[in-house]
Every structure is written in structure tokens, then in C-alpha cells.
Structure 1
């Protein structure tokens, strides 16, 4: 009796399975008009997949598959390079297909979740038929589901073993050709597979302290998506490192630009988006956007400290203004009574504007003779030129507690005028 009942159950199940396959195949070949499986506001995957065993599998439905609001959804995970699946798909013949990680424990091979690699578009992992407890493998060694990174359209095959067999995610497959004229179906998503870019190799360097003082902030734009480039950046430089507000002497710059090197002026009385002297310690960070407006996380650069004050402003004069060979020429860079009436050079330290505590280094052409007790380290040397000629360079370097700056001038040295005396005609 038991044996007869057992074979009856088996026979009934086989008849049901065969009937389901035949009906599904006929529907598929007849070009059955699929009901809309549209994404709700909380799901971003929609459309239909097809199994020769269980028939249509709907990935989202608000109007075409009953009153239940269900769907499959993809969200970014913490890595930024993967998207995690969640939610449910529905088959009239087998019931719920879960993509929720909480339902996927004990899967045939870890990790027990479903996800998409945003760089390659490959879908990986598992989903589970809750009615039977059987698994849908989304990728194997010679098959798998993929998402087109440009269109969001799924393609490829998943394997549902005895429960669902091969599950097709698109009516046009390499293995079966284009079946879309008779059954136009596919699964698709509005989830962006564009991976976020990164700003790396952050560097800051000061330059031009003797002429155009500034700090250059640079970074390298990196994006795993082939062809993506930088479309915008935001640079923030802050004294406290909190980046919550920005006043004078702090920077908050944004621009739609592909440049990755931004120069910021340093000034004694800075405005917003300028830097301050006064040995100020700064913290800075940068964020970038790719060509599809995907933004990166903030990247922090190395902190830096500005000089206590500007570098020396170097200049000098000389008299007489017409230089003659073997004549004493007085050079002046700072005030010195009675030979030099004013400070031509300026130092910004404690004795501002005086450079009294600074070091001086003069470089004259070969053969110049220092006179009046002066030398190459004197602030205001007196010299005699021994050679006549044009474009003879004289350089002065002044060094104080923060740095050194130089000034070079090209001078002409002339012969003295001829001496003459008046004589009576013969």
C-alpha cells in the first residue's frame, strides 16, 4: 500500500513538472506579452528572467504580479567597488527567490551573499528558493550573470540545479541567439556600476617665497573605470583640522576642472582662500569627481607649517649712477648714515623693516676691489671696478631666520672721461 502511494505521488509530480515545462515553452515561443514588472521607489532592479522549469521570474512588481510590493535592490557596499543585492524575486510556480544575505547562510560555497563587481560587471554569489531551500548559483567556472556597465541590462545565465535549471536573464544570449522577437524579456537595473574615483599621492609644496609666495597642492586622480577622468575637485585647507568653517587664512575651493595641481597664495593679511604666515599649522584634504559625477571620499594630505613671516625683500642701489673704472662706487641695501639714506631691502622679522640682524652676501665680477673697510658680507659695500665692460652682474643675497632671497642687477662699467687742458694756439 505504501509503495503504491509513493509511486502515485512521484508520478503526479512528474506529470506536473512536464506540464509546467510544456506550458512555459509554449508561452515563450508564442511571444507572450509580459506584464509590467516595474521598480518601486525602494527597488532599482526590474524585469523578468526565464527558466525552462519554473517559467517566468519577476524581479520587481507593483502592478503586474499581485498586490505584494516586492523587488530586488542593489546598494553600494563599503568598498565602493561592489554592489550588494537584497530583496525578493517571484515565480508563480516556485514562489520567492531571496537575495537577502540573512537568508543565504549555509550556501554551497562562501561568501553566502549576492553581489556585483562594479569594475567588471560580473554578478556573483547566491540566491535561494525559499519554498524548496534550493540554491541559484549566479556564477560558476563556465557560466554567470553580468550587468552592462553603460546600460544596466543583465545578461548571461544562472544555475538553479533541479529546482530551476538554467535561468536566462536576457532574451538575447550568446548560447541561444536572439529570441527577443518572440519573447522580449530582460532584467535591468538603474543602479550605477560606476565606481567612485580616488585622490592619491597628495602633496603640498611651498615656492616663490622671494617673488610670488604660494603653496601648490597636488594629487593623482585614480579611477578603476576605464576611460573615466576627473571632472571636478574640492580643496579644503583648515587651521583646526575640523573643516567646519573657513575664515581668512583658510581655503575652501571648488571647481569643475580636470586640473590636479592648485596654487594658493600666502599673504601677511590673508583673505579667505589665502594662507597666513605666523608659523601657522595647516591641515588639508581634497575630494574629486569623475566624468560621470561620481565623487570620491575625502583624502587627507600631509599637514604643513607656514613660515613665521615673509622672506626678505631684496634690493639695492648704487652711486654714482654712472659707474667708471677705478672710481669708488657706494652700494646701498639698508639705511646707514651718512652713506645710505633709507632701507632699500626689507626684512619682516622682529626688527621690521630693518635687516640689521640678517646676513648679507655680495657677489661682484672678478677683479672688483672692496674699499672703505667693507667686504662681501657688508650690508653697504664700497667697491672699485677694475674692468671696463657692459652687463657686469652684481648679486646680493640676504638671509634671515626663515630663508634667503637674492637680487641681481646688470651694470655697465665705463672708461673715465679724458683729461684735457687749454693751451694757447701756436
Structure 2
């Protein structure tokens, strides 16, 4: 090969090798290796569950979750509403963390959890926490095209309640001009009566009142309120019918039990009026339409599941679209699909707690609840279901809004010993639990305490109720009896005698068959029962029966009661033949 050609090939392959090496190690190369340690930690907030936002009325909130990393976690930190970061150092590939924040402001709080690994990668997770006033106070804004924002609480712009408006938050009125602190104001709904009260504020038209009279704001000098256009025709729809009156300083009400839509939707209606005070009688805002409104359907409603108000109020002439007032007042951006742009809402915490009570058993009928059996309940209770030691715990769940029970937590403690049972929080609408030996080993003649808590379907708890009971002294009688023949005849005497076994103390200690225990405080007693036979001495240990008719399954029952008045029963059925023929001796 020509020498010049060889040099050309050498240069070509050298350049080709250089291009290959450069492309392999270049950061812009199509071939790139990512090591696991380069990935940020994965952070997962597990509790409270994130369903868009979490609502609470408490200043404190306990949060838990996990962080994991392919390398080693160095630390996990958290913050809420931009407060200082807090947390702990963890040197491990995973971190199960729990913390309590005590700095939640009223309103919206942004909770952020961050985890850093040992080479500096940071992973994070966040959720929105909304803290609402616990007294039924409204929070947030409504919107009207004519007057703009309507704020239902000064806490919207002053979430820490220190009467200093926070920068960038509208809704705090300053009055008069030489006063620099905002007035505190609030619109409220009493969860029990359903009555609305207080004030809302508009920067353009001023105070909006939910009171019949307007005392307490003398410096604002609001005009006297007049009679709303159709009086109190809405009053029968209130939470407590007929109670929203001028004497109660009430103009509007909420109905917590009237369900709108499908069961479980949580929708409840608001009725009545509010008033823009500066507009006089042109300032009335109607919160719910009526048939007399000519078929125009509108209204404000509250959702127990989301804590949000929605819908429209109307202020104008007798019928929309006459607009001598402020026109439509929207309580939620979902009304006009504007949530992406503005995202305004009106919220309140109105859910009343449910109540729970234990159901007591009845001595004269099969008990609804066996706490424990009790004298007289033996046949239905102890003899059939062992309730003398293992009771059926039965309770009633009642919710003011008609919401169902979502879970319960039941604890049984032996007061003088170590026996206990803790169900944990059980997701269930069932309102009873039959105890058995798998829950705990219960003893005779021992006192136990039941602690029960329940929750409604949106998480409001009833609070604990407690019931103490003592199990029966000992086992109930094993009722039994014997008889002379398996088959008798009509009108023939058949002898029956008691063969029951009795017990005296918590360790059973059975008697001999048919022998009443001598240690009882009283005598044993007997009651023979039959609808098919005539009995002789039916209250004695031995009886004689004459069956009136032939046939199969002729029944006789013995109720055996021991000296502590514990009773159990036993029964049997006999086949009775036709009457034996009579005969006469002749010679």
C-alpha cells in the first residue's frame, strides 16, 4: 500500500476513535449513567390523609409519615406556613417520622416535609391544612360582580387574630381613617340552633349584617334594619323550627338535618336574609329561593363533607334580573367554574358531635344487651350465649345531622386484675360486639369497665362513655331431667324428676346430679311446664304428667333455678300412644 494512503487511513481511524471517546464521556452524550444515590429521597405524608385539604379546629396537629432513600437519610425537617424548620437527625436508609405542630393559624396553612440524604439530595411532600374556628365562625370570601369581594371574617386578613392586617390579604376594614387597626368581625352559625349572626365586610359597600338589630357597633353608626321583604316565611325550615325571630335577633338560619340530594352527600340548606346596611332596603340579600319567586331556583347550601358553602344569594328586585341591589352573591368559585383563576371559598365547621349510649337489657324479655345476664335472663342469656362471663355489648348511635357511624373504639378493663381488651379503631357501622374468649379471658364474679368511643362519617367523635359491670357469681345450672318411659299412652301417668347440676363459685365446683348445692343463700326451685299434659306438683323436684292426647312431640319443660336465682331450662318431647283399652274381669 502506498505510504501516503497508509498515513491517511491512520489519521482517519485516529479521528474516529477520538470522536467515539468524546461522545462516550461527554455530558451531552446519548449514553448517560444515573446512579441510585443521585435520586432524591421519597417523602410520604400518611396521616392526616390528603384529600385535597385537611380541616381542623385545633391549633395543634400531629402528622406522621415515612421517608426512604436508596442511600442514607441524614435528616427530616418540616414547617407550616413558613415558620422555622424543625425536625430530627436520622442516619438510616428509611425514616418513620411523627411530629406535632402547635402553630396552625386560622385559615390556610401549607405544611411541607423535607428529607435530605447524606450526599445532599432533598425530597419533599406537602399538604394544605385549613384551621377553622371551632365556634361555627365562617371563614373565606364570597364574590359579587357589582361590589367585588365579601369577607366573612377579619381572620381572613388577620389569621393570628392580633388586630394587625397581614400584608397582601384583603378584607379588613379600617374605620375611621385615623385608626390603623382593623375591627374584628365574624359571621357565625350556631351549630345547635342553626341561627346566623354577625357581620361580613365589603370594601365597596361596607357592612353586611346577619343580625336583626345592630348594637355593639355604635362607632360605625349602622342604619336601623327594616323588616325583610317577605318576613319570616322561611322560619319553619330552621334547624329548630320557628326559633329564628326578631326577638332572637335572627335573620337567617341553617338546617343541619334537612338532607338535600342523595343520602350521604352532606348537603344542607341555608334560609333567610342578610342585608347590606349602606343600601338600606335595597340591600336585602335573599339566601334561598321560594315558590313565590316565580320559578327562579337559587340558594345557599353547606356541605358537611367538605365544610364548604356553595350556591348564590340574590339582592335586587322581587325577581332576578332586576338589580336595584347588588345582584348575585356567589359563595364558592365552583358556582361559575372560576376556581382556577380566583379560588375563593366560604367555609365553616358546623358538624355537631354524635352521641352514644349503652342499651340496657330487660329482665322480662330477650335482652337487647347483656351487661351481664342478670337474674331472670338466664334462659335467653347465660344458657344460650354465655353472657354471664361474655356479654353482648350493644349501643345506640345518634347523630344530629343524621350521619352514620363510621368507626368505633371499645376497651374492656378488668378493674382488679390485668385482663384487658382493646379493639383499636374499627371501621364499622355495627353497633354491638359479642365478647368471647378470643378477646380476653373473662372471669366469674369480677368487675370490668367498658370504655366506648364512636365517630360519624366525617370524623366527628362522640367522646368516651364508660360502663362498669360485674359478671355473675358462677355458672348457671345445667338443667336436665329424666323420666320413667320413652313412650306413654293417653291419660297414663309418666313420672319426671330433676337431674340438674348446680354450681356455687367462680371455679365452677359442680354438685352431684339432681342435688342442690348446700352453700346457696336460698333453696333451689323448680317449675315444670307443659301445654300438652296435666301436671301434679309442678313446683317440686319430681312431677307426674298425664298427657291429654295421643300424638308425637308432646313437650314438657323444666325451669331449674339455683339458690342464687340463676335459672336455665331444659325440655324434651315424647310420643304418646292412644289410650290403653279398658277391661273388666268376668267369671
Q: TM-score, normalised by structure 1?
A: 0.52
**Higher relative contact order (CA closer than 8 Å, sequence separation 6+):** 1
- Report the 3-state secondary structure (helix = DSSP H, G, I; strand = E; otherwise coil) of the residue aligned with 1:259: coil
When residues 229 and 309 of structure 1 are mapped into structure 2, their CA distance, relative to the original with a 3 A threshold, is: same
When residues 58 and 293 of structure 1 are mapped into structure 2, their CA distance, relative to the original with a 3 A threshold, is: closer
Q: Aligned residue for 2:150?
A: 57
Cα displacement (A) at 1:290: 1.8
When residues 379 and 202 of structure 1 are mapped into structure 2, their CA distance, relative to the original with a 3 A threshold, is: closer
Q: Does 1:268 align with 2:444?
A: yes
- Report the 3-state secondary structure (helix = DSSP H, G, I; strand = E; otherwise coil) of the residue aligned with 2:254: strand
Distance in 2 of aligned mates of 1:220 and 1:139: 36
Q: Aligned residue for 2:269?
A: 122
Contact 2:191 2:351 in 1 (8 A): no
- Structure 2 gaps of 5+ residues are 1-106, 110-130, 158-165, 173-180, 217-223, 228-245, 259-267, 318-322, 362-366, 368-372, 374-379, 437-441, 489-494, 502-510, 546-552, 575-587
Q: Where in structure 2 are the equivalents of 1:130-279 lying within 5 Å?
A: 135-139=283-287, 141=290, 142=293, 144-151=299-306, 152-159=308-315, 164-169=325-330, 178=336, 180=338, 184-185=341-342, 187-192=344-349, 194=351, 196-197=353-354, 202-204=359-361, 205=367, 206=373, 207-214=380-387, 216-223=392-399, 228-233=403-408, 247=415, 255-263=426-434, 268-273=444-449
Counterpart of 1:399 (choices 561, 573, 580) is 561
Q: Aligned residue for 2:234?
A: none
Q: Where in structure 2 are the equivalents of 1:13-162 lying within 5 Å?
A: 44-52=138-146, 54-59=147-152, 60-61=156-157, 62=166, 63-65=168-170, 77=190, 79=192, 82=194, 84-91=196-203, 93-99=204-210, 103=214, 107-109=225-227, 110=246, 112-113=249-250, 114-119=252-257, 121-129=268-276, 135-139=283-287, 141=290, 142=293, 144-151=299-306, 152-159=308-315
Distance in 2 of aligned mates of 1:186 and 1:139: 21
Contact 1:137 1:158 in 2 (8 A): yes
- Report the 3-state secondary structure (helix = DSSP H, G, I; strand = E; otherwise coil) of the residue aligned with 2:202: strand
- Report the 3-state secondary structure (helix = DSSP H, G, I; strand = E; otherwise coil) of the residue aligned with 1:258: coil
When residues 270 and 409 of structure 1 are mapped into structure 2, their CA distance, relative to the original with a 3 A threshold, is: farther
When residues 163 and 129 of structure 1 are mapped into structure 2, their CA distance, relative to the original with a 3 A threshold, is: farther
Contact 1:147 1:153 in 2 (8 A): yes
CA RMSD for the aligned pairs?
6.0
- Report the 3-state secondary structure (helix = DSSP H, G, I; strand = E; otherwise coil) of the residue aligned with 1:210: helix
Q: Aligned residue for 1:312?
A: 477
Contact 1:71 1:89 in 2 (8 A): no
Deviations 1:391-425 (A, max 9, x none): 999864323563532235799xxxxxxxxxxxxxx
When residues 97 and 394 of structure 1 are mapped into structure 2, their CA distance, relative to the original with a 3 A threshold, is: closer
Cα displacement (A) at 1:48: 3.7
Contact 2:394 2:433 in 1 (8 A): yes
Distance in 2 of aligned mates of 1:139 and 1:256: 37
Q: How many residue pairs get matched?
A: 329
Cα displacement (A) at 1:291: 1.7
Q: Aligned residue for 2:461?
A: 295
Distance in 1 of aligned mates of 2:524 and 2:458: 55
